Structure 1
Amino acid sequence: MTSSCEFKFDRPNPVFYSGEIFTGRIILRTSSIKSVNRIYIMFLGLAKVMFEEQRSDTISGNEVRYDRAISHSTETYVKSHTDVYEKGRLPDGTHTFPFSITLPLECPTSCVGKYVTVLQTYNLNLHPEMSMPIEHMAIRRLCCWPFRSGPIKLHLAIPYSGYAAGQTINYKVHIDNMSNRHVRGFSMTLIQIYEFRIRHERRIVSSYFRGEFESEIVSPTHKRIARGHYLIPSLPPSSREKLIINVSYMIRLTVLISGWHMKWNIDVPITIGTIPLTVSGDPKAPKEFIPDISNVQRQTVGDPPPAYNDSQPLFEQSAYVGKLFVDPDANEYNRTDDFLPWYPTYRNIPLLKPPTEVSPTEMAVSEAAPTETLGASPEASPEASPEESPGASPKVTPAMEPKIPPKE
């Protein structure tokens, strides 16, 4: 019989929040007596970023030399050692070593990890600005003189600025088609934006999670109010501070227009948290998987971990597109290339208190400029005071260019 080592946690799902104490035990089985200097349990939480670039240089004439440049950076968030056995002889058989480790509040959320997933708590209920609606207005002019037609005005309304994975975004689109083209429909896409930093260099990687196409025909010189739905997949929450790995999200509304005008993409920022807004629930939904948010206060470095009344929420493996990170420092016995973290998802959220009614924004948009936007940026807007009632008025920010590649 060969020796083996097994990790067991005191929680069915190995998912822990920053600020929590997670416990478990390590079961070491040995087939013979071992002479040991020390046995300890090490818990390590870190982030690694590596950029690889191939450069070419002409030496003389037609001779070209290729160089491979690699730059990397590492941030360590938690590193602990727990001694469980001193120097001596370890008998053969089964040995159990319990452990108890406290996760700092500032621990960021796992993107890729081994054995456990760590979540930095992002309780949307502790951030009043998250309960404010997103309202975005834009205007699109088709073609140019002498073939110019009237504009298409659009008003996108999303009830809240922050959602959690598993929730459905019920949005409304008011289309005023003053052009001579047909609007054929629209769809919503959640854009996940990863920003990787090494000193002064940064790279952006975007992933696109497309929703269903909503077929809504708006004929020329007609208006229509349409509604759509988007189910948020299992994804990590938005980053709250600047680290070497940061994640943010944009909502893209794609409007299909007949003719060669094709697509019209409208992007607005949105926040993904780990605990949903209690005002965003369904009055008919059963009360399940909802953390107790009473007597919870907002912290500077991270929100306190949630306290669940009866059971944990549903955890789902991360939705992921693209290639997984391959750690060049890991050996063949310590690979994490095939691991995807798990995140909490909330499918059925009860309405714990009714939201405040929001008066609709007027559709009028000045035609003096070719494009005007009124958007809500949860991350850029000033923080609302605690006395503000949720949804009292939409947040307004000037037009901005999203930090994403013009894909689609």
Structure 2
Amino acid sequence: MDDLRIEYDAPNSVYFPGQAVTGKVIIQNREWIKARFLKICIHGGAHTGWSESERRHRTNTRGESESYTESVNYNATVNYLTGESIAWKSQDGQNRLPAGTNVFPFAFSLPTNCPPSFEGCHGQIRYSVHVELDRPWKFNKKQKKFFSVVPAYDLNITPTAINPMVNTVSKNTGLILKKGLVTMTVSLPKRGYVAGEILPITINIDNGSKAPVRTVRAKMTELSHFHASHGHSTHHTHHKNAEKCVGESRREVNLAPKTRGQSLLSMKIPAIVPSFECPIISVDYCISVKLDTDSLFGGTLKVEFPLIIGTIPIRQMAPLAGSTVPAVYPTVSPSAPPYPVVAGGAVGGPVYPGSSSAPPYPVVAGGASSVYPSAPPVSPGGAQGTVPSAPPPSYEESMYAGKAEDSEVEF
């Protein structure tokens, strides 16, 4: 066998919940291959796992109580998608796959409630298609390729996303010899943002101290929460939290003592997973703003705000000429065409409570004997029809109108 590979129809292998994952398996061989069947499977799910050292007590042979340390494993799994089909099967009993280029198309449906692809330090959410060529008296030939799921999380239907936020903090700087009161008021125009959007931060400073204010800085943090249990028990759930800095901004202020001033910071939202929550993994975001004075001790002030990260930005209101009635840009949500698909299982509740569900798709029950009998035929040059397979829209495209990588890591 010269080549066995999986190709997705979507550029960058990015799909939306509710969409059909379509592609093809290509086998290239100069001579016929002894094989019985080719199986194509799809899997998607969330998994968490870690180990903790815990102190235990036991009674030794002398009847004395002693303590010891035991490593306890915690894990949890939620399956969102499982499906398989026999794409090819030897019909004449000769168990021969013909020589040349053999193309086997596939189509599987994504549930509308599946969370986005995510990689964390204590868990991950992964989606993949894997194929297996059954060869008698030989090791089966296998291949796997991951794809990304990106949700349509519309901030326009999330009530708190448009709310402005203001926070004020005051501090009498200095440790023993106090140098005076410094007050910082920080304001953000809204709570919800999308990747590529600029987050403006307005900082008003009242420096009533004897020391100058040197810098203001902001840091955006991804907050991941993982849940797992030990063995088959679901009553004793353990939790792990992780923080990761995803963006920073800094500016020199040099505000003199006994003066007031204003400083502006801006931060571009990086390409990050949107806020989400599934039964065992959730991701939130926050931004912290700090002010540093020249005081050696107690010279830093800090405020913090929660953020919501979506994929469809809040539409800005643009006034019409000669009218006070604002014009609202229409909400454009990505959607998929009604592909016939192979049924897959899903477990778990809604992931995005505020987002609208994708329309239902016709489902073909059971597997196909060769290729899917009711799936559209695929020519050697590509898939029939048009698939909305472009990557998620950028902030600019969304206002006025993800990337997946192959991985050798086993789920």
**Hey, what does 2:106 align to over in structure 1?**
99
Distance verdict in 2 for CA 1:294–1:245, change over 3 Å: closer
Distance verdict in 2 for CA 1:193–1:312, change over 3 Å: same
More divergent stretch after superposition (132-141 vs 161-170): 132-141
The aligned runs of 1:116-195 (5 Å cut-off) are 116-143=147-174, 147-195=177-225
SS in 1 for 2:87: strand
Contact 2:90 2:97 in 1 (8 A): no
Distance 2:6 2:334 in 1: 32
Distance 2:106 2:213 in 1: 61
Distance 1:273 1:350 in 2: 12
Normalized per residue, the structure richer in strand is 2
**Hey, what does 1:401 align to over in structure 2?**
none
1:26 to partner: Cα distance:
1.1
More divergent stretch after superposition (47-56 vs 86-95): 86-95
Distance verdict in 2 for CA 1:280–1:248, change over 3 Å: farther
Distance verdict in 2 for CA 1:28–1:171, change over 3 Å: same
1:34 to partner: Cα distance:
2.5
**Hey, what does 1:52 align to over in structure 2?**
51
Distance 2:156 2:331 in 1: 8
Distance verdict in 2 for CA 1:292–1:244, change over 3 Å: same
**Hey, what does 2:345 align to over in structure 1?**
none
1:265 to partner: Cα distance:
2.6
Distance 1:295 1:348 in 2: 14
Distance 2:35 2:97 in 1: 9
Distance 1:292 1:98 in 2: 36
Distance verdict in 2 for CA 1:311–1:168, change over 3 Å: farther
The one-letter code matched in structure 1 to 2:279 is L
1:311 to partner: Cα distance:
8.6
1:143-170: CA deviations, max 9, x gaps?
47x7444422222111121111111111
1:108-148: CA deviations, max 9, x gaps?
0101445211112211122242122122222223247x744
Distance verdict in 2 for CA 1:70–1:86, change over 3 Å: same
**Hey, what does 2:394 align to over in structure 1?**
346
Identity of aligned residues (%): 21
Distance 1:232 1:151 in 2: 33
Distance verdict in 2 for CA 1:280–1:76, change over 3 Å: farther
1:183 to partner: Cα distance:
1.4
SS in 2 for 1:243: coil
Alignment match of 1:293 (pick from 321, 327, 331): 331
Distance 1:23 1:210 in 2: 35
Distance verdict in 2 for CA 1:215–1:350, change over 3 Å: farther
1:9 to partner: Cα distance:
1.5
**Hey, what does 1:378 align to over in structure 2?**
none
Contact 2:157 2:354 in 1 (8 A): no
**Hey, what does 1:256 align to over in structure 2?**
292
Distance 1:280 1:4 in 2: 54
The one-letter code matched in structure 2 to 1:267 is E
The one-letter code matched in structure 2 to 1:259 is S
1:179 to partner: Cα distance:
2.3
**For this pair of structures, how many residues does the alignment match?**
307
Contact 1:106 1:302 in 2 (8 A): no
1:23 to partner: Cα distance:
1.5
SS in 1 for 2:118: coil
Alignment match of 2:270 (pick from 226, 229, 233): 233
Alignment match of 1:78 (pick from 76, 81, 89): 81
Distance 1:295 1:312 in 2: 13
Distance 1:8 1:292 in 2: 34
Unaligned runs of 5+ in 2: 120-125, 127-144, 230-236, 319-328, 336-349, 360-386, 402-411
Unaligned runs of 5+ in 1: 282-290, 316-343, 354-408
Distance 1:107 1:242 in 2: 9
The one-letter code matched in structure 2 to 1:70 is N
Contact 1:186 1:214 in 2 (8 A): yes
Distance 1:295 1:191 in 2: 27
**Hey, what does 1:390 align to over in structure 2?**
none
1:27-71: CA deviations, max 9, x gaps?
1235433231x433211111111111245679889x996543222
Distance verdict in 2 for CA 1:280–1:96, change over 3 Å: farther
In the superposition, the TM-score normalised over structure 1's length comes to 0.66
**Hey, what does 1:108 align to over in structure 2?**
115
Contact 2:312 2:333 in 1 (8 A): no
1:270 to partner: Cα distance:
0.4
Contact 2:275 2:283 in 1 (8 A): yes
Distance verdict in 2 for CA 1:120–1:202, change over 3 Å: same
Distance 1:293 1:134 in 2: 24
Alignment match of 1:274 (pick from 311, 324, 327): 311
Contact 2:25 2:104 in 1 (8 A): yes
Contact 1:105 1:301 in 2 (8 A): no
RMSD across aligned C-alpha pairs, in angstroms? Answer: 3.5
SS in 2 for 1:268: strand
- Specify which structure has the bigger relative contact order, considering alpha-carbon pairs within 8 angstroms and separated by 6 or more residues: 2
